[in-house]
Amino acid sequence: MQPLDPALGAPLAALARAAIRHALGGPAVQRPVGEFFAQKGAVFVTLYRGDTLHGCIGSLEAHRPLVDDVIDNAVAAALHDPRAVPLSRSDAERLRVEISLLSPQERVPCHDEASALSALRPGEDGVVLRCGSRRATFLPQVWEQIPDGHEFLRELRWKARLDPDAWLPEMQVFRYHVRTYVDEGSPPMEKPQ
């Protein structure tokens, strides 16, 4: 995982926060301008309330302008992720916003779990598992919670709604890298005593 230059990451995090406020009835979103923001990009937006995951939604492949990807994924992570709880506009300010800009995917040559594990770099590689119409991904950050490679791939199979204990011959593994930027948000307001 590499950091995303703050000159690029900070406007993306601010855009995500503004999109969430707008979805909750706030003012219109001011979009950053420039070649970087207009290019097609794939982004995951991860939101935390303190240390608790609120929501995480993203795109695996660049298919629209980066600005639109951030806006749509921020709103989806805030309001439509099954883990999300209801938010007020003021809650949007206190969320920790993590922007993960994905590289293009690269196929991992493998024929079984052992060969997949030998090709993957824990902590560096985001992983996509595909099998027929099913697919699932874990961002590189997930290695922090699941450092054991076998368990990592087992959980990924479960997430794809596949048998977590079986490696099927038609499974395909892809890897990608991310550049991340984290905006901690404003601290909660202290209540008067």
Examine the pLDDT at 191 and tell me if it is beyond 80: no
**45 sits in which H/E element:** strand 43-49
pLDDT average, residue stretch 166-185: 96
Examine the pLDDT at 169 and tell me if it is beyond 60: yes
pLDDT, position 34? 95
Q: Closest Cα partner for 103 from 54, 150, 137?
A: 137
pLDDT average, residue stretch 106-131: 96
Q: What is the longest distance spanned by two Cα atoms in the chain?
A: 63
As annotated, the residues of the chain forming the CATH 3.30.700.20 domain(s) are 2-103+178-183
Q: Which two tokens stand for residue 193?
A: 């005593």
Express as a percent the part of the chain with pLDDT over 90: 90
Distance in angstroms between the alpha carbons of the first and the last residue of the chain: 43
CB of 130 closer than 8 Å to CB of 107: no
CATH number of 106-176: 3.30.1490.150
As annotated, the residues of the chain forming the CATH 3.30.1490.150 domain(s) are 106-176
State if pTM tops 0.75: yes
Examine the pLDDT at 193 and tell me if it is beyond 90: no
CATH number of 2-103+178-183: 3.30.700.20
Confidence of residue 185 (pLDDT cuts 50, 70, 90): confident
Residue 182: count other Cβ atoms within 10 Å of its Cβ: 16
Express as a percent the part of the chain with pLDDT over 70: 96
Examine the pLDDT at 159 and tell me if it is beyond 90: yes
Q: Which two tokens stand for residue 60?
A: 């695996």
Average pLDDT, the chain: 94
